[in-house]
Amino acid sequence: MSQQNFRSILTGSFSTPCDDNPTVAMIEAAYRHHDIDARYINCDVKAENLKDAVAGARAMEWVGFNCSLPHKVAVIEHLDELAESARIIGAVNCVSIRDGRLIGDNTDGKGFLASLKQVADPSGKKVLLLGAGGAARAIAVELGLASAAHITVMNRDPKKAETIAALVRDNTSAKADVQAWDGEASAPEDVDILINATSIGLGDADAMPPLKVETLRKGLIVADVIPNPPRTRLLHEAEGRGCTVLDGLGMLVNQGVIGVEHWLGKTLDAGVMEQTLKDIFGAA
């Protein structure tokens, strides 16, 4: 009898559209690097097929999958269990399948936090968070759970910002308030971390969130969620003023690392994943 194993471990992603999602390249590069016999399959799953896709993953004994837009909320009704932050955020982007049970987690904010922790501990810090979409919501909850002292959520539509601030206040020890974003925002002197969690800058290296750059002081941590291009104009301006900067690649890479830790119990080399994305995005 042959001792060879011709069955790969199966992981992947369900979203639509998915053609331009580079996660498959990032994760499979790391699987190859570590000589792990696993595949990450990038699947275009329309909303009406999500239930079947999830049932298929379970039936084919996938160990887990990512869910991206538009499935992050809709997938919840197909799961057996939710991790704490996924429950608070109300969205799932990473599902683990263990003994046929589906467990949903949200790694958006966790990926951001892992990236942030490379330069600072968020505990006790004051944060200005620009934007109030899905990324901002996940980041705010994780910062709150990581004992940030205070989070101000700033958004054009203050009602969306208030929803996030209320989630933080109700579920974590952090204080949270809201500012409407009209005109140019300022970074107050007592803020330690400023985060762009809007979509401004995606695919446009010249786009800049409306912000008084002269308020970006030396020592402030300025983070951007935008992965492509990684060097956004905000980060360029912030670096020129002596801020510590964090790009959106770190968030994306760390989400991959955390997801595979959930699925395989193995920690992938973040450097291999980051270089793969840089090659894809044409970044230095």
**Could you give the residue numbers annotated as active site?**
72
CA pair distance 251, 263, nearest whole angstrom: 18
Q: Is 131 annotated as a binding residue?
A: yes
Cβ 139 to ligand NDP shortest distance, Å: 9
Q: Is 173 annotated as a binding residue?
A: no
Cβ 160 to ligand NDP shortest distance, Å: 5
Q: Is 111 annotated as a binding residue?
A: no
Q: Is 135 annotated as a binding residue?
A: yes
Contact between 164 and ligand NDP per CB under 6 A: no
Residue whose beta carbon is closest to ligand NDP? 133
Task: Report angle CA 228, 232, 236 to the nearest 5 degrees.
Answer: 150
Cβ 187 to ligand NDP shortest distance, Å: 16
Residue 12 near residue 44 (C-beta atoms within 8 A): no
Contact between 135 and ligand NDP per CB under 6 A: yes
Q: How many residues bind ligand NDP (CB under 6 A)?
A: 23
- Of 10, 132, 185, 273, the residue at the interface with ligand NDP (CB under 6 A) is 132
Q: Is 124 annotated as a binding residue?
A: no
- Of 202, 205, 208, 213, the residue at the interface with ligand NDP (CB under 6 A) is 202
- Of 64, 109, 134, 230, the residue at the interface with ligand NDP (CB under 6 A) is 134
Nearer to ligand NDP, 120 or 202 (CB): 202
List C-alpha distances in Å: 63 to 13, 60, 96.
Answer: 12, 9, 6
- Which residue reads 């060879």 in tokens? 4
Cβ 46 to ligand NDP shortest distance, Å: 19
Contact between 131 and ligand NDP per CB under 6 A: yes
**Residue-wise over 252-274: b if at least 16 C-beta within 10 A, else e?**
bbbbbbbbbebbbeeebebebbb
CA pair distance 259, 155, nearest whole angstrom: 29
List C-alpha distances in Å: 105 to 109, 259, 270, 272.
Answer: 10, 9, 20, 24
CA pair distance 177, 271, nearest whole angstrom: 36
Q: Which two tokens stand for residue 156?
A: 């054009």
Residues numbered 207 to 266 that lie near ligand NDP (CB under 6 A) are 225-227, 248, 251-252, 255
Query: Does a cis peptide bond (omega within 30 degrees of 0) precede residue 22?
Result: no
From the number of C-beta atoms within 10 Å of its C-beta (0-12, 13-18, 19+), residue 36 rates as middle
Q: Is 104 annotated as a binding residue?
A: no
x-marked contacts with ligand NDP along 108-127 as a string, rule CB under 6 A:
x--x----------------
Strand segments (E) across 64-174: 64-67, 81-82, 94-98, 101-105, 126-130, 150-155
Binding residue ranges for shikimate: 68, 93, 108, 255
Binding residue ranges: 68, 84, 93, 108, 131-135, 225, 248, 255
Binding residue ranges for NADP(+): 84, 131-135, 225, 248
Q: Which stretches of the chain bind ligand NDP, using CB under 6 A?
A: 108, 111, 131-136, 155-157, 160, 198-200, 202, 225-227, 248, 251-252, 255
